[in-house]
Amino acid sequence: GEDVEQSLFLSVREGDSSVINCTYTDSSSTYLYWYKQEPGAGLQLLTYIFSNMDMKQDQRLTVLLNKKDKHLSLRIADTQTGDSAIYFCAITGGGNKLTFGTGTQLKVEL
Amino acid sequence: ETGVTQTPRHLVMGMTNKKSLKCEQHLGHNAMYWYKQSAKKPLELMFVYNFKEQTENNSVPSRFSPECPNSSHLFLHLHTLQPEDSALYLCASSRPESIEQFFGPGTRLTVL
């Protein structure tokens, strides 16, 4: 089956850029997502990228997709303390079945 | 307010108890999902319902029994659970075939 991997932790200083990485095994993935989970809350869709795109930018967020290496990244520019959360990478090959990674805990330090 | 609510938010139960988790969505969606979130593990899809019909059972033990009486409500009935079932159980909903799922805040379950 599909496998999605992420590192568990990332710590950055406020104002720096954060880069959260994700690798996956299913090359037929159609959509690739980044979800954010704040403490005590469910997951919230941050952004997504279609598999025929290499990059998508949305304000402070930049998503990069390297299909050859099956690598997805999320860059958060000017990281703020409010960005502290768990970030989940997820993929789907179609339909409504998502495969998630373990999540990366982002800690933003002052 | 995400439009997806879950009750209770926290639940502690013994291994011989029977309890139920409830999920309700106010978004007019027709697909609903149960996920299990354990520490340091990928979010696990448990069940998918489309138009009240179960379309996915991800090899979930029978001690977890889902019920979807209508498109707005989803239940997860629990009985004779094990301590390793302790986790955050998340409900989500979407339009079928939509790229976005909307999540509830979850029920934190502890099995003693």
Q: What is the mean pLDDT of residues B91-98?
A: 86
Query: B78-109: string of b/e by CB count within 10 Å (b at 16+)?
Result: beebeeebbbbbbbbbbeeeeeebbbbbbbbb
Residue B92 and residue A31: Cβ atoms within 8 Å? no
pLDDT digits (tens, 9 = 90+) for B31-63: 999 999 998 888 999 999 999 999 888 899 999
| Test mutation, A30, A33, A96, chain B, max B CBs within 10 A | A96
Test the B interface: residue of A43, A44, A89 with most B CBs within 10 Å: A43
Token digits of residue A48: 């997504």
- Closest approach of chain B CAs to the CA of A72, in angstroms? 16
- Per-residue pLDDT of chain A (110 residues), as tens digits, is 578 999 999 999 999 999 999 999 987 888 899 999 998 888 999 999 999 999 999 999 999 999 999 999 999 999 999 999 999 999 987 667 889 999 999 999 99
Q: In this complex, which of A31, A41, A98 lies closest to B105 when CB atoms are compared?
A: A41
B48 close contact with A: CB closer than 8 A? yes
